Amino acid sequence: MSKIQEMSSFVAVVEAGSFVGAADATGLSKAAVSRHVGELEQRLGVRLLQRTTRRLSLTDEGRTFFERAKELLEAIDEAESELTSRSAEARGLIRVNAPLTFGVLHLAPLWAPFADANPKVSLDITLSDRLVDLVDEGYDLAIRITNLSESMLVSRKLASTRMVLCATPRYLRQRGKPKHPGDLSRHAVISYTYWSTRDEWHFTGPDGPVSVAVSSRIHTNNGDTCRRAALSHQGIILQPDFMVGEDLRRGALVELMPAYRSIEIGIHAVYPTRKHLPLKTRRLIDYLAKSLRDSPWNA
């Protein structure tokens, strides 16, 4: 049995969440996928998956192996595509979904160079902070800013962004500068609807993890609205550095409590399946990965 086949079946099971889903994604039988994973576990001498009648979950060893195996399979795909696509011409429509602010600030400048390099490719770009269903809504690719958990989708990490706690100097002169996350309960806070933690903010400080429940003065589903409210001295925001990096550099916003770091979040390209990925989509993913590799908002 090929080690690559074993790893491919294992990764497919994790991404699909079931052996049946992995069989559908790979075109193999459920029995074959199960046999590949079993032989992989036997060869490694560790259990990678915990199986119950209701669900599958990764063991600690399985989680570590999944990340490395996925990286290896993606590297193999990239190596193959680089050879096979050099002389081929991408063509067709690509439907892309991306978050609104990130799409405007950091993706909008990238579309024209990609279109120039791929004249037979058309782009249909939708910007929305809503979590779309790629399959049901017919998207080829989505950009998601999140720490992905186990998913039926395939993903490739493009970059990362750090959540930054900040406010204007004027607001801080009026209300004082918080020194500990617990102080945030006494401040005006501007919060964002779609963060998974909502109105509970998490930090890691000198003494370990700290969580604080905040009371929002302004609550909105749009990051630009959070930023504009903060720039108008209305309160404290926790927003990604891809959005507030320039404000911090020019002093319009000031980072607060740098000893208490918030989370870092991955920026991913997600797509329904690795199998038979169209050349047009692969080209776009490779292009975005190269363009965002150095995280220009951190420069």
More confident residue, 237 or 83: 237
User: Of 228, 239, 234, which is closest to residue 166 (Cα–Cα)?
Assistant: 239
Quick check: 259 and 205 in contact, CB under 8 A?
yes
92-159+265-298 and 161-263 share one fold? yes
The tens digit of pLDDT for each residue in 59-70 reads: 989 889 998 888
The tens digit of pLDDT for each residue in 121-176 reads: 999 999 998 888 888 888 999 999 987 665 556 889 999 999 999 999 999 999 99
What is the C-alpha separation between 133 and 127, in angstroms, rounded? 14
What is the C-alpha separation between 296 and 242, in angstroms, rounded? 8
Averaged pLDDT score across all residues of the chain: 88
In the chain, what's the furthest Cα-to-Cα distance? 68
In which residue are the tokens 């991306």 written? 98
CATH architecture of 92-159+265-298: 3-Layer(aba) Sandwich (3.40)
What is the C-alpha separation between 96 and 139, in angstroms, rounded? 6
236 φ, ψ (degrees, to nearest 5) = -100, 140
Q: Where are the domains of the chain?
A: 3-84, 92-159+265-298, 161-263
pLDDT on residue 263? 86
The angle at the Cα of 241, spanning 236 to 244, to the nearest 5 degrees, equals: 55
89 φ, ψ (degrees, to nearest 5) = -115, 125
pLDDT tier at 196, thresholds 50, 70, 90: low
What is the C-alpha separation between 67 and 54, in angstroms, rounded? 24
Greatest mean pLDDT among 3-17, 27-41, 226-240 lies in: 226-240
User: Of 59, 80, 121, 84, which is closest to residue 281 (Cα–Cα)?
Assistant: 121
DSSP state of 185: G
Range with lowest mean pLDDT among 38-47, 98-107, 160-169, 232-241: 38-47
In which residue are the tokens 């079993």 written? 38
Q: Which residues contact 116 (CB under 8 A, 6 or more apart)?
A: none
Helix ranges restricted to H, 105-258 = 108-117, 134-137, 169-175, 223-231, 241-250
Sort strands 264-271 and 154-167 into parallel, antiparallel or unpaired: antiparallel
What is the C-alpha separation between 209 and 188, in angstroms, rounded? 22
The CATH topology of domain 3-84 is Arc Repressor Mutant, subunit A (1.10.10)
The CATH class of 161-263 is alpha beta
Tallying the residues shown for the chain, one arrives at 299
CA atoms within 13 A on the CB side of 236: 27
Tokens of 12: 């497919």
